[in-house]
Amino acid sequence: MPGITREEVAHLARLARLELQAEELDHFAGQLDDIIGAVARVSEVADQDVPPTSHPLPLTNVMRADEVRPSLTPEQALSGAPAQEQQRFKVPQILGED
């Protein structure tokens, strides 16, 4: 597989609006060639027997099931509030009305 050229790196740099020096073009060409080679090696390993996955280990939900438990009534919850309206805490408005 032919390596990535300085001209291709310069073209990519122009597309990304990056200004690169001549020595940077050579440096990045080598790095990009290594990256492309690594991706090609991974592609070779992937086989038909291996299903695509999003995570290497199975995930399980760690949330507990919802269950109704005794709690405060609205009156008890609002009993210490300085202001309330329609069974809610009333607070000063901070955003304008839309």
Which has more pLDDT, 32 or 57? 32
Q: Using CA atoms, how far apart are residues 23 and 37, in angstroms rounded to an integer?
A: 22
Q: Identify the pLDDT of residue 39.
A: 86
pLDDT digits (tens, 9 = 90+) for 44-77: 776 777 777 788 888 888 888 889 999 999 999 9
> What whole-number percentage of the chain has pLDDT above 70?
95
Q: Using CA atoms, how far apart are residues 52 and 38, in angstroms rounded to an integer?
A: 19
CATH of range 1-43; options 2.60.40, 1.10.10, 1.10.20, 1.10.3470:
1.10.20
Write the CA distances from 80 to 4, 46, 74, 86, integer angstroms. 70, 63, 11, 15
> What whole-number percentage of the chain has pLDDT above 90?
55
Q: Using CA atoms, how far apart are residues 92 and 94, in angstroms rounded to an integer?
A: 6
Judge whether residue 1 has pLDDT over 70. no
The model scores a pTM over 0.85: no
